[in-house]
């Protein structure tokens, strides 16, 4: 009797499975029956950067719930680590779930309201993106623009701010499309004297160039995890000053996005001292990775890390100069120490250089936007700025460029 029931159940199971197969109008993709192809590549482009094994291993740890006490503790440790690297005591310091671009959107959405003016310092593609986002949000957009490879003069921003009285001034500290590092001294005073706030993009520069949020009196800064932090992309560290939080609390209208609402996010991350409310399910494994990335920086020391990038950059300039190659940004003091832009020599096929290095397991990028075809971009973010490692990659780059120039 039992045997008959088992046979009957087995037949029913087969019929059910068969009917499910018949019901599916889309066959399973053949590619999903094969293993993924993930080569071990050295990422010396503009990001993401090469990820240390300890950070990658953290993502294989067991998942926790997004409000489990152990995970909340890891979030709190990340907040402290982000305050350390941003050099701030701002309570509202946390990470937005999303890439660096999510940081830009969260910042502008919260800090400016429809009809207000945003003043954008445009020295490359990221100023262009900020201006475009401002228009999409119904802001009045004023742009101070310079040629690629140049920094925006502080005087030009002051004149524009005095004229248009912006609610927000946007500046990209490290412009990854051109390789400049924008001076920030005096900008907060210009913003505040004209009734506005200062917003700084440090996606490509945080940890690789000097930056002190509190000393510079910056109102909001955001970054990303996949550059100097050497983590996977997927989180956007961000910090709001008390002045910025007051502006958000006194808005005429609520922030249009619930997902990017800084006050809601701040509560979830434990910034306001109130009981945490469910906001969204955080990318648990990415937060693990951020915590490990911040631990590496804490053990090395943020100032030591920045100095390593500065020293390494000087060595690279000499190394490239001796090979007859020219930097895209003329003045050394205007160059971003962790992302180096080199002019493509006349007669050299930049795509062929990139392809050759790719074949050797090394990524080096071409330009972005208006600089496409004009420059190479070599990123020495985080562990990639270790002198021996960086020198070896640059030597291979020089060798390939020389080979191409002879063809």
Binding-site annotation: residue ranges for substrate: 377
Distances (CA, A) of 368 to 115, 244, 336, 373, 399: 31, 32, 16, 8, 23
- The label of the residue with tokens 């008390």 reads 242
Q: Any idea what DSSP says for residue 196?
A: -
- φ/ψ (deg, to 5) at 230: 60, 25
Contacts of 83 (CB under 8 A, 6+ apart): 89, 90, 93, 239
Could you please report the per-residue DSSP string of 61-84?
SPP--TT-HHHHHHHHHHHHHHHH
CA distance readout (Å), 237 to 80, 218, 225, 345, 367: 12, 15, 7, 37, 26
Nearest CA to 92 among 225, 237, 230? 237
Who contacts 270 (Cβ-Cβ below 8 Å, separation ≥6)? 72, 75, 76, 79, 276
């Amino acid at each position: 009797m039992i045997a008959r029931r088992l046979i009957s159940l087995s037949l029913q199971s087969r019929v059910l499975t068969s009917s499910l197969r018949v019901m599916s109008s889309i066959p399973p993709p053949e590619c999903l029956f094969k293993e993924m192809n993930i080569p071990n590549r050295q990422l010396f482009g503009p990001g993401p950067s090469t990820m240390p094994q300890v950070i990658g291993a953290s993502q294989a740890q067991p998942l926790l719930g997004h409000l489990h006490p152990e995970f909340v503790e890891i979030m709190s440790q990340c907040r402290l680590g982000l305050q350390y690297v941003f050099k701030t005591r701002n309570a509202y310091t946390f990470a937005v779930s999303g890439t660096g671009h999510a940081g830009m959107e969260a910042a502008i959405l919260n800090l400016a309201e429809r009809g207000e003016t945003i003043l954008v310092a445009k020295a490359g593609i990221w100023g262009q993106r900020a201006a475009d986002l401002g228009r999409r949000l119904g802001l009045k957009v004023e742009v101070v623009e310079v040629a690629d490879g140049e920094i925006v003069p502080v005087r030009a921003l002051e004149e524009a701010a005095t004229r248009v009285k912006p609610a927000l001034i946007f500046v990209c500290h490290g412009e990854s499309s051109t390789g400049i590092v924008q001076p920030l001294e005096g900008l907060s005073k210009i913003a505040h004297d004209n009734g506005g706030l200062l917003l700084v993009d440090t996606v490509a520069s945080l940890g690789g160039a000097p930056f002190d949020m509190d000393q510079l009196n910056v109102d909001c800064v955001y970054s990303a995890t996949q550059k100097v932090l050497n983590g996977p992309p997927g989180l956007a560290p961000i910090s709001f000053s008390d002045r910025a939080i007051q502006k958000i609390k006194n808005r005429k209208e609520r922030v249009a996005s619930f997902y990017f609402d800084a006050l809601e996010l701040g509560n979830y991350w434990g910034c306001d001292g109130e009981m945490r409310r469910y906001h969204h399910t955080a990318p648990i494994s990415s937060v693990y990775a951020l915590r490990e990335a911040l631990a590496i920086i804490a053990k090395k020391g943020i100032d030591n890390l920045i100095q390593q990038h500065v020293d390494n950059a000087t060595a690279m300039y000499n190394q490239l100069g001796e090979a007859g190659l020219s930097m895209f940004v003329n003045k050394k003091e205007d160059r971003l120490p962790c992302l180096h832009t080199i002019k493509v020599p006349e007669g050299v096929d930049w795509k062929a250089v990139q392809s050759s290095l790719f074949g050797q397991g090394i990524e080096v990028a071409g330009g972005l936007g208006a600089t496409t075809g004009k420059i190479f971009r070599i990123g020495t973010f985080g562990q990639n700025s270790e002198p021996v490692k960086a020198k070896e990659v640059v030597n291979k780059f020089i060798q390939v460029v020389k080979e191409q120039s002879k063809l």
